[in-house]
Amino acid sequence: MTATALSPDRIALRDRVRALAAGPVTARAAEVDRSEQYPWDNVELLKREKLLGMTIPTAYGGQGRTWLDAVLAIEELSAACAVTGRIAVETNMGAISAVMAYGSEEQKKLAAGMVLDGDKPAICITEPEAGSDAGGMTTRADRRGNRFVVNGRKHWITGGGVSRLHLIFAKVYDTRGEEEGIGGFLAIRDETKGLKISKREPTMGLRGIPEAVVDFEEMELGPDALVIPPRGLKKGFADLMNAYNSQRVGAATVALGIAQGAYRLALDWSETREQFGRPINEFQGLQWKLADMSIRLAAAQALVYKAAASGENGFPDMLMAAQAKVFTSESAIAVVNEALQFFGARGYSRELPLERMARDVRMFTIGGGTAEVLRNVVASSILGKKLPQTRDGWSEGR
Ligand SMILES: Cc1cc2nc3c(=O)[nH]c(=O)nc-3n(C[C@H](O)[C@H](O)[C@H](O)COP(=O)(O)OP(=O)(O)OC[C@H]3O[C@@H](n4cnc5c(N)ncnc54)[C@H](O)[C@@H]3O)c2cc1C
């Protein structure tokens, strides 16, 4: 799937979002970064424009659109403001898509309603001692009768403090203290005793969305909170990772969008800026940089669209999602860095968006599965075997 093969409906969607991004979203982007405030006004805008819950089925009030449709919107929003692009990812992919795939009727209605009303759900997996090795998590959910008591700490939770709906992963233990596997639970901040937002991380970029430490202290949940049952040692986690392939495609799309935005700025500037009596794009050294940037972007876009299209009847393919995220995140960092270079000293100024883009884009080889760990995913898929990453046997990485 390439940009040129898009249907007229998709081109219209992309163009509509591009115009929106160029207007109000671009106008607010620098302020969102500077103030480090969550852009609730942009959330309202996305809500009005039906860009929240695009992938939620119409039966639950959503648009019933495809991953690729969401990707087209996210790409354009991210070119203007990566924070707004991430909000679009997390209201169309990741936690919400896990609930819509694996949840009960009540859970689906609850989650869809909250997202369509403007809530960006938080997904809680990472812990201080369990990052890439997510299977090593120690947050526990102990069964007490038909209820669960959750204790533990998660960190780097996107939206901690602004998100209401939380999808929390914990190791489930039966009443005899035997481990059942990893399960996923829904909890609503401010309505669930024991769910505490403890600290906001001072992040390098993407500053309009808080990254927070979330603590669970004797947090009691009813049986209706369980979305992804443990079902044996690996099943709960496998379901999570399946849903997470959509989030990975979303993250790759934000990186792609940021790089597209930076590239467009550099392209325009290369025509305007003159040195030695001619536009700087007449120097072959810069022409080749532009050529390389456009090649990387075209290849990244093709991988992202292909991965998104692979999930037409379910979640995106794991291999394609991992390939797209590794290549796009690394290419985007390189493209943004080159784009900044086109501006000389101006690129280093906080008055232009390039430095913000360089800070924002840096995240995407880290969050949601690092480039190294995703290379493991690619390798195990092409080799048809998974090598244990721990010294003494199996551990499920992300
Ligand atoms: C901005 C941001 C937002 C995030 N949002 C969320 C969120 O909403 N929810 C959530 O649960 N988490 C979130 N995360 C956490 C993110 O998913 C983790 O940071 C990531 O999985 C890596 O874990 P770690 O930071 O503990 O690094 P570590 O796992 O400690 O890794 C350190 C280094 O070792 C490498 N490494 C580790 N294991 C291997 C291996 N087997 N092979 C090769 N290399 C390896 C890594 O690639 C990395 O370079 C977010 C992170 C960031 C930066």
Condensed to tens digits (0 to 9), the pLDDT of residues 307-343 reads 999 998 899 999 999 999 999 999 999 999 999 999 9
Measured between alpha carbons, how far is 91 from 166 in angstroms, rounded to an integer?
12
Cβ of 210 less than 6 Å from ligand 1: no
Measured between alpha carbons, how far is 271 from 269 in angstroms, rounded to an integer?
5
Cβ of 365 less than 6 Å from ligand 1: no
Strand partners, 142: 149, 173
Question: Residue 309: which H helix or E strand, with range?
Answer: helix 284-309
Of the pLDDT bands very low, low, confident and very high (cuts 50, 70, 90), residue 4 is low
Of 63, 91, 116, which residue sits at a domain end?
Answer: 116
Q: Residue 347, exposed/middle/buried by CB under 10 A (0-12, 13-18, 19+)?
A: buried
Are 318 and 245 a contacting pair, CB within 8 Å? yes
pLDDT of residue 240: 82
- Within a domain: 392: no
Condensed to tens digits (0 to 9), the pLDDT of residues 341-390 reads 999 999 999 999 999 999 999 999 999 899 999 999 999 999 998 777 77
Looking at residue 15, which CATH number applies to its domain?
1.10.540.10
Cβ of 325 less than 6 Å from ligand 1: no
pLDDT of residue 2: 67
Q: Which domain range does residue 128 map to?
A: 122-231
Cβ of 74 less than 6 Å from ligand 1: no
Phi, psi of 123 (to 5 degrees): -115, 125
Cβ of 335 less than 6 Å from ligand 1: no
Cβ of 135 less than 6 Å from ligand 1: no
Q: What is the mean pLDDT of the chain?
A: 95
Measured between alpha carbons, how far is 354 from 358 in angstroms, rounded to an integer?
6
pLDDT of residue 5: 85
- Within a domain: 397: no
Q: Is the pLDDT confidence value at 234 over 90?
A: no
Residues 160 and 95 in one domain: no
Measured between alpha carbons, how far is 62 from 55 in angstroms, rounded to an integer?
7
* CA 319 to ligand 1 centroid distance, Å: 19
Measured between alpha carbons, how far is 277 from 23 in angstroms, rounded to an integer?
33
Beta carbons within 8 Å of 220's beta carbon, 6+ residues apart:
144, 147, 148, 149, 150, 193, 194
Q: Is the pLDDT confidence value at 169 over 70?
A: yes
Terminal CA-to-CA distance of the chain, rounded, Å? 27
- Within a domain: 324: yes
Residues 132 and 81 in one domain: no
Cβ of 125 less than 6 Å from ligand 1: yes
Among 155, 254, 366, say which to mutate for ligand 1: greatest number of ligand atoms within 8 Å of CB: 366
Measured between alpha carbons, how far is 165 from 95 in angstroms, rounded to an integer?
9
- Within a domain: 317: yes
Condensed to tens digits (0 to 9), the pLDDT of residues 250-279 reads 999 999 999 999 999 999 999 999 999 999
Give me the helix-helix angle, 232-272 and 284-309, nearest 10°: 150
Looking at residue 154, which CATH number applies to its domain?
2.40.110.10
Residues 20 and 109 in one domain: yes
Q: In the 8-state DSSP scheme, what is residue 317? A: P
Of 171, 197, 231, which residue sits at a domain end?
Answer: 231
pTM exceeds 0.75 = yes
Which atom of ligand 1 lies closest to the CA of 132? Answer: 29
Cβ of 139 less than 6 Å from ligand 1: no
pLDDT of residue 386: 78
Condensed to tens digits (0 to 9), the pLDDT of residues 123-159 reads 999 999 999 999 899 999 999 999 999 999 999 999 9
Cβ of 205 less than 6 Å from ligand 1: no
Residues 227 and 239 in one domain: no
pLDDT of residue 241: 85
Looking at residue 284, which CATH number applies to its domain?
1.20.140.10
Of 116, 149, 184, which residue sits at a domain end?
Answer: 116
Which atom of ligand 1 lies closest to the CA of 203? Answer: 1
Which atom of ligand 1 lies closest to the CA of 160? Answer: 8
**Least confident span in 80-84, 146-150, 231-235:** 231-235
Of the pLDDT bands very low, low, confident and very high (cuts 50, 70, 90), residue 396 is low
Are 260 and 18 a contacting pair, CB within 8 Å? no
Measured between alpha carbons, how far is 331 from 172 in angstroms, rounded to an integer?
39
Give me the helix-helix angle, 284-309 and 318-342, nearest 10°: 160
Look at ligand 1, atom 38, and give the residue with the nearest C-alpha: 132
